[in-house]
Structure 1
Amino acid sequence: MQRHRAVVFLASFLAFSLELWSAKLLLPRFGGSAYVWTTCVIFFQAVLLAATLTAQAAAARLSRRRWARAYLALALAPLAFFPASVPAPSSTGPLLDLLRALLVMVGAPFFLLSTTTIVVQGWRMERGPTGGRDAYDLFGASNAGALAALAGYPLAVEPGLTLNAQSRLWTVLYAAYVVLLWMCAPRGGGAAAAVAIETGEVISARRRASWLLLAAAPCAAMLATANLLTFDFAAVPLLWTAPLAVYLATFVLNFRRQAFDARRLNSALLPILGAWTLACAAAAALAVLDAGESTPVRTLRRLIDVGKFGYVTAALFVVGMIAHRSLAADRPATPRAMRGFYVAISAGGLLGSLAIGVLVPLLGRDVGVLGLDWLAAGALAAAALILRDWDALSGLARRRPRAVAAAAVAAGIVATLLLAARRAAVAESGVVFSLRNFYGVYAVADHDGVRLFFHGNTDHGSQSLDPAQARTPLSYYNVHSPLAEAFAQLGGGWRRLGVVGLGAGAIAAYGRPGRSLDYYELDPDVAMIAERWFTYLKNSRARVRIVVGDARLRLAQAHGESYDVLILDAFNSGAVPVHLLTEEALRLYLRRITPDGVILLHVSNRYLDLRPMLAASATELGLHGASKRLVQNGRMTEDRVPSCWIELSLDAAKTDALIRARGWRPLEESARGARPWTDQYASLLPVLAL
């Protein structure tokens, strides 16, 4: 039994490591979007379902010996071609390109690893009389392997190994997996596995549907939590793994021989959640009383901002514990029923992934609310619980119809009130346009005579609604900002300006006659918003051009371009565009500026301090650097928004002038032994600034 547990553990460890490795490898090709991870989860859930169905069909049609030999031969195949190269992009769009890349690169090894638990479990059940329920121990070992990968990858593998080194280590571990698999394979002959054990357990359609929805709800909640994290921090494995680890932990806790009793943990969580709710209420009261931006108020709001991640993670844990405890309590014991149980869990995971990754963005494209993710997860959870308790609910309806009708009416009234409150909140917030697509959630809102552009919950530019003030840049780009100081120091010494990241187009306000400005923008919807809802581009005195596509790819193709100033301002909501800050990206930028040109980087972030990492990169590339962080003094307004900017140049005179005349600091002062980011290595742990 120990060998069986070991091979299942290792297979799951390898499968989840492969998920994280491939998603991280593909991020630069797809603009660092938070939805890269969501799409990867959809792909891997679909492969898991296909693998489960294939393994069951093969076990039913082949003898034990033939199936074991065939499976071992298939297991050797990935060693011949892993890792495959990333295919070139096509014109089919980012979603299909990403799915095709995953299929070519890791489809085969992940497919085979996904079958291991069910195949080895079948072998185990045929060897002894322990019964089906004991075989669920392997299910727990599988999830434990996944948890080990999720903990080890962001904390040890990603910070310590490049992507190439990771692929080599993965290949070695995969070879060990093949050896363990051979040790577990049955040696004898026998009839098809499908008829080895057979009983009369009958599974109703409603019970299967309950399994499906109970598996779908926590998966949807997991992706909803991951989306919230990656929109605010960065699309990196460290933040993908936390919700996925909670999701899998609820599997492990409930599929043990003795299920985990969560009542004590819930008792500990409730006071924390209650305190967080009271803090939110206090912050709302301070806002109503116009308490200003004092240090205590800012501290309270910062704690709330960080606390929301713990809040949604706790909600994910609760949903996962309820759903997976229900699944564990209702799991069948016979082989045929158990195969159906596995299919339902796999299909449910795919359903939850599709709900968040495809259905919600499609239905919510014109809504632009990230909270729709949790609404969808809650709807799946409610449907699952109704199906689970259908008999009890039906009996209650027959015994007390008036009470049930009153409860239904009350629920309808509450839903109506919530919808009305939501509409009132939208009206009060001044939202005039919202949209959601593959790259994020966007909103345009009018407030106090200013039009603001939000990506997620992050300000991506604003403009005065007063025509007389509309040419004056606001937000991070205002006339008091470090960016304005950098332009002032350059004076008339620039004619060509390149900007990575469009936002509202506020930088165009710094344009002058006879100058040219090229914007590189990944998302065509952002270009539409900037042109339709803001006038910076139209009113700019410079010639403005928008180049749609990933900035690194477009700049690499722009062989004739040479800019005096290249500005990097391409944050995805509040998330860091990791692939645009690597050493390889900086080398590309240097090839696209004049010998005495400068690179300006906007690195404002609530949770990360990127200056040490960029200081290390500057040292590696022989660049001179200066930085300035504009801190908040008094009440924040759109013409005095805190921000942090870095200037890099091969010309020391450029950065020295900012340091002497404008109070900027030498970038090397920020160096704290950080390691430069590269396309092969990037870790958030050294730059966390919570």
Structure 2
Amino acid sequence: MALYAWTVLLGSFLLFEVQPIAGKYLLPMFGGSPSVWTVCLLFFQAFLLGGYAYAHVLTRYAGPRLQAGVHALLLLMSVACLPVTIRLDRVADLGGRPVLQVLAILAVSIGVPVLALSATSPLMQAWATLGVAPLRRPYRLYALSNVAGLVAVASYPFLVEPVFSRTLQAKVWCLGMTGYALLCLSAGVVTVWRTRDTLEAGLSAANPGEDQTARRPGARRVLAWLCLPACSSLLLMAVTNKICQDVAPVPFLWLLPLCLYLASWAICFDRPQWYVRQWCLPAMLIAVMGVCAVLILRAYLAVQVQIGVCALAFLLCCLGCHGELVRLQPPTRHLTAFYLMIGLGGLLGGGFVAVAAPLLFNDYREFQIGLLLCPVVLLVLCFNDRASRLYHGRDRRAWAFLVCALLISALAFQQEAVRFSGNRRCAARNFFGTLTVYEFALKNPLRRHSLLQNGNVTHGLQAWDPQRRLLPTSYYGEQSGAGLLLRHLRPEVPRHIGVVGMGIGTLVAYGKASDRFRFYEINPEVSKVAAAHFSYLAEARAHVTIVPGDGRLSLEREAPQGFDILVLDVFTSDAIPVHVLTREAFSVYQKHLNSGGVMLVNISNPHLDLTPVIRTAALQMGMRVAVIVHIPAPNEWWLNGSHWVMLSTNDEFLSSPAIAAATRASPKLAAVGPFWTDDYTALFPLLKRRCHFRLKGGTQTETRE
């Protein structure tokens, strides 16, 4: 049985390890959007269903020898697909549909190996129950597979990504896939050998200790097999979106819900005794009410508290869903059908978040839906379970408490949804995230302003006061790096200014009639919102051009633009598009700069210090660096703290009094940081150890000691 266990371990590890590797290849192709991870997860859920369906059909309609032969053929096809090559040109352009584009690229690149890996757990469990000395508790192998997945996911950003390049990661994974194929082939040979006596005698190879006359699972049980994993899968993707893009944009925070999700599978399937329905359901509803309180009072609570409460509620919901699945486990002869429904439920839940939710909602409303849906499904199961205290309303006090808690949660979520409806002017959601326009200080003409947020990150602010309407705001104040550069670099001559990342177009406030601004913006909704709800672009004195699409990819295709200033303004959350900070990217930018031109990078981020990366790139290009950190005064409500880095060969400008006086001296600049390339990037070495925050104007800004 050790052979089956090792095969499950290695197969699951490889399956979960290839997910972040594939993501590293895909992120630069789609502008570094965090939605790439969501679509990747949807792809793996779809192929997990395919693997479960394959294992179900194979074990149901074929004998052990044919099973081993067919699976050997699939393994050989998987090895033949190596090495892994994930490229945008492997599929045709799908007309600006990034979700379909990502799914198609993954299917063509790694579809066959992922299908083989996905079938591992149910197939090995089914084989382990055949022949002589069958495994009595094959479901524990599923717990083992989730432990392996947990190790793969948790180790990647801390042990794999900082050490190995992207190409080397793919090569090592291919070697592991080859070793897995050999191990799986050995498991097939052993299965055929273990069942030889029963097959020669014309007997069934199924587990002899099991009642083969047991009835097939009823429709209600099969429906529960479908609904429970659908709820947990929906909640996994919803809580990841919520806490990573709307609560706290912290690097690697996406690991927390995925690790809790895998851990709940491992706990519940290892020992059924770990799940106790009597305390899990009430605790789940109490935690859901805690999430309600967090969402309503989030402005007054520490980020750690918000994340902790959301994570606890998510864990309890997963334990409830997966614990109920364990209670509904069928006899091993229906094992593969059980996993098939689990895979289908996971795909339905994930598909709702990745495909349906962006079309139905303009925010992350599926998070609240998932939190309410999990206890509802569990209550329905308890209502129909004769062994439950809640069977047909048996314990009225318990029902009263649970129903009241559920109603309170639903009402609180509704209240939270309309809390800022009086200030909200526009909301939109697409592949690149959520955009919301607010108006604040409606009764104060001097402080009334409109605010654009992506998640909870400010992307622009404009005052309504005619005296301040065209004043540079947010990260672009006159004393910020952007303000100093645009005010002091060649102000007397016409300038050509390139900006990657438009926001609401605040930088055009520094433009003169003779200047030309060329914006590169990947999110089409940003351009629409900036034109409809803000007036910087409409009232600009300079000539403005907007180029849709990813900034780096657009610059690679264009002829040299001869920019006097090139601004990279795409670093405002944890979704760092690292492909714009690599050696190859800076070579592209340098091609577009005039002699004596200046490159300006916005690295305002409370969790990552990207200065060493930019310092290394500057040294490679023979440029000097000036770091400018601006912390506005408390009464400057229209400004946010900012952290800018200038790169240039123009020593005269960087040594000018205005720039020299604002340049921040830092010991970090004396050391060369990590050298990023398209093949190697790592965020973990750049995590900050200390940072502080303060709230201003409804947004989160950073100060440092």
**Which range, TM-score by smaller chain?**
0.7 to 0.9
CA contact (8 A) 2:484 2:658 kept: no
Does the alignment pair 1:158 with 2:155? no
Please give the residue correspondences for 1:135-154 in structure 2 after superposition, counting only pairs within 5 Å. Answer: 135-154=138-157
In the alignment, residue 144 of structure 2 is paired with which amino acid?
A
Please give the alpha-carbon distance, in whole angstroms, between the structure 1 residues aligned to 2:578 and 2:85. Answer: 23
Match in the other structure for 1:298: none
Provide closer, same or farther for how the CA distance between residues 669 and 650 of structure 1 changes in structure 2, counting only shifts above 3 A.
same
Provide closer, same or farther for how the CA distance between residues 79 and 334 of structure 1 changes in structure 2, counting only shifts above 3 A.
closer
Provide closer, same or farther for how the CA distance between residues 86 and 11 of structure 1 changes in structure 2, counting only shifts above 3 A.
same
Match in the other structure for 2:654: 655
Provide closer, same or farther for how the CA distance between residues 595 and 128 of structure 1 changes in structure 2, counting only shifts above 3 A.
farther
Query: How much has 1:450 moved relative to structure 2?
Result: 0.7
Query: How much has 1:151 moved relative to structure 2?
Result: 2.0
CA contact (8 A) 1:502 1:520 kept: yes
Match in the other structure for 1:474: 473
Query: How much has 1:455 moved relative to structure 2?
Result: 0.5
With structure 2 as the length reference, what TM-score do the two structures score?
0.86
Please give the residue correspondences for 1:226-245 in structure 2 after superposition, counting only pairs within 5 Å. Answer: 226-231=240-245, 238-245=252-259
SS at 2:137's partner residue?
helix
Please give the residue correspondences for 1:50-129 in structure 2 after superposition, counting only pairs within 5 Å. Answer: 50-82=50-82, 83-88=84-89, 90-92=93-95, 93-129=97-133
Provide closer, same or farther for how the CA distance between residues 380 and 673 of structure 1 changes in structure 2, counting only shifts above 3 A.
farther
Deviations 1:229-271 (A, max 9, x none): 5427999994433321110011111111464368999999999
Query: How much has 1:520 moved relative to structure 2?
Result: 0.3
Match in the other structure for 2:192: 187
CA contact (8 A) 1:230 1:575 kept: no
Match in the other structure for 1:309: 307
Match in the other structure for 2:316: 318
Provide closer, same or farther for how the CA distance between residues 71 and 404 of structure 1 changes in structure 2, counting only shifts above 3 A.
closer
With structure 1 as the length reference, what TM-score do the two structures score?
0.88
RMSD value, Cα: 3.5
In the alignment, residue 176 of structure 1 is paired with which amino acid?
G
Please give the alpha-carbon distance, in whole angstroms, between the structure 1 residues aligned to 2:497 and 2:598. Answer: 10
Higher helix share: 1
CA contact (8 A) 1:497 1:564 kept: yes
In the alignment, residue 21 of structure 2 is paired with which amino acid?
W
SS at 2:213's partner residue?
coil
Greater mean deviation of Cα atoms: 618-627 or 502-511: 618-627
CA contact (8 A) 2:235 2:367 kept: yes
Match in the other structure for 2:236: 222
Please give the alpha-carbon distance, in whole angstroms, between the structure 1 residues aligned to 2:35 and 2:669. Answer: 32
Deviations 1:619-647 (A, max 9, x none): 23322111111125435511x32111000
Please give the residue correspondences for 1:448-459 in structure 2 after superposition, counting only pairs within 5 Å. Answer: 448=441, 449-459=448-458
Query: How much has 1:196 moved relative to structure 2?
Result: 3.5
SS at 1:476's partner residue?
coil
SS at 1:126's partner residue?
coil
Please give the alpha-carbon distance, in whole angstroms, between the structure 2 residues aligned to 1:233 and 1:403. Answer: 33
SS at 1:209's partner residue?
helix
CA contact (8 A) 1:626 1:667 kept: no
Greater mean deviation of Cα atoms: 458-467 or 400-409: 400-409
1:426 paired residue among 421, 425, 429: 421
Match in the other structure for 1:196: 206
Please give the alpha-carbon distance, in whole angstroms, between the structure 2 residues aligned to 1:315 and 1:234. Answer: 17
SS at 2:418's partner residue?
helix
CA contact (8 A) 1:233 1:607 kept: no
Query: How much has 1:669 moved relative to structure 2?
Result: 4.1
Query: How much has 1:587 moved relative to structure 2?
Result: 1.5
Does the alignment pair 1:352 with 2:349? yes
Match in the other structure for 1:340: 337
Query: How much has 1:673 moved relative to structure 2?
Result: 5.1
Provide closer, same or farther for how the CA distance between residues 313 and 398 of structure 1 changes in structure 2, counting only shifts above 3 A.
closer
SS at 1:473's partner residue?
coil
Provide closer, same or farther for how the CA distance between residues 405 and 276 of structure 1 changes in structure 2, counting only shifts above 3 A.
closer
Query: How much has 1:567 moved relative to structure 2?
Result: 0.3
Query: How much has 1:129 moved relative to structure 2?
Result: 4.6
SS at 1:84's partner residue?
coil
Higher RCO (CA 8 Å, separation ≥ 6 residues): 1
Query: How much has 1:600 moved relative to structure 2?
Result: 0.4
Deviations 1:94-115 (A, max 9, x none): 1111111111111111011101
Match in the other structure for 1:292: none
SS at 1:77's partner residue?
helix
The sequence identity of aligned pairs, in percent, is 30
1:442 paired residue among 435, 443, 451: 435
In the alignment, residue 203 of structure 1 is paired with which amino acid?
P
In the alignment, residue 577 of structure 1 is paired with which amino acid?
P
Greater mean deviation of Cα atoms: 549-558 or 122-131: 122-131
Query: How much has 1:574 moved relative to structure 2?
Result: 5.4
Please give the residue correspondences for 1:403-414 in structure 2 after superposition, counting only pairs within 5 Å. Answer: none
Please give the alpha-carbon distance, in whole angstroms, between the structure 2 residues aligned to 1:232 and 1:618. Answer: 33
Please give the alpha-carbon distance, in whole angstroms, between the structure 2 residues aligned to 1:541 and 1:193. Answer: 87
Does the alignment pair 1:577 with 2:570? no
Query: How much has 1:663 moved relative to structure 2?
Result: 2.3
Match in the other structure for 1:631: 631
Please give the alpha-carbon distance, in whole angstroms, between the structure 1 residues aligned to 2:508 and 2:245. Answer: 26
CA contact (8 A) 1:234 1:575 kept: no
Match in the other structure for 2:702: none
In the alignment, residue 556 of structure 1 is paired with which amino acid?
E
CA contact (8 A) 2:552 2:580 kept: yes
Gaps of 5+ in 1: 286-300
Please give the alpha-carbon distance, in whole angstroms, between the structure 2 residues aligned to 1:681 and 1:225. Answer: 29
SS at 2:257's partner residue?
helix
Please give the alpha-carbon distance, in whole angstroms, between the structure 2 residues aligned to 1:399 and 1:234. Answer: 43
